[in-house]
Amino acid sequence: WENYMPLLRMAMYSKGIQLYCAPTADSRDTWLSTMQHVALEGRCFVLSACQFVRRKDFPDDFDSSFGNDPETVLSRGGSCIINPLGEILAGPNYEESCILTANLDLDDVVRGKFDFDVSGHYARPDVFRLNVNESPAPSVVTSCSPFAPLQANTEDHSLGEDSPPPHAS
């Protein structure tokens, strides 16, 4: 769901991305307009992939809440390719599995940013600032004591200064 997070998108735009890849399982009608918005906002190409799946693509013992007819569509796809001005270059396809292609002129990104550059000349750093923490963070912090502080040292992923070395008992 990160594609719906404006601060994450801003961090990506500030890196100068030209191709914004948006894999998704969201095949709602609103997805296409979201991808057009992202392309227009970031003045980048958007490549969005969403799988097209029928009931017959699953094992026979899979009990689908959408029905068990082999032709029942469980995910209708909707992959698309959008240019930096929000225009649809390919897709969306809601009929079958397919491979979308389009010829991309990366200079369209540069031309688009002459008009509006969300992280460049129109970023408004006098008003807005986004701080992004890109340092690695442990997903799990363990403690030898129920009272040990839950602080991780991001360099060696150990606990704070008070924790015993790993070999101590």
DSSP letter for each residue of 81-129: EE-TTS-EEE----SS---------THHHHHHHHH--TTTTTS-TTT--
User: Strand pairing partners for 23?
Assistant: 49
Q: When comparing pLDDT for 51 and 67, which is higher?
A: 51
pTM of the model: 0.76
**Could you say which architecture CATH assigns to the domain 2-115?**
4-Layer Sandwich (3.60)
| pLDDT higher than 80, residue 157 | no
Residues spanned by CATH 3.60.110.10 within the chain? 2-115
- Residue 114 sits at φ, ψ, to 5 deg, of -65, -35
pLDDT, residue 146, reads: 65
Q: Which pLDDT band holds residue 27 (cuts at 50, 70, 90)?
A: confident
118 token code pair? 């969300």
Backbone CA torsion sign across 123, 129, 135, 140:
negative
* For the chain, percent of residues with pLDDT exceeding 70: 85
| pLDDT higher than 50, residue 57 | yes
Determine the average pLDDT of the residues in 2-29: 93
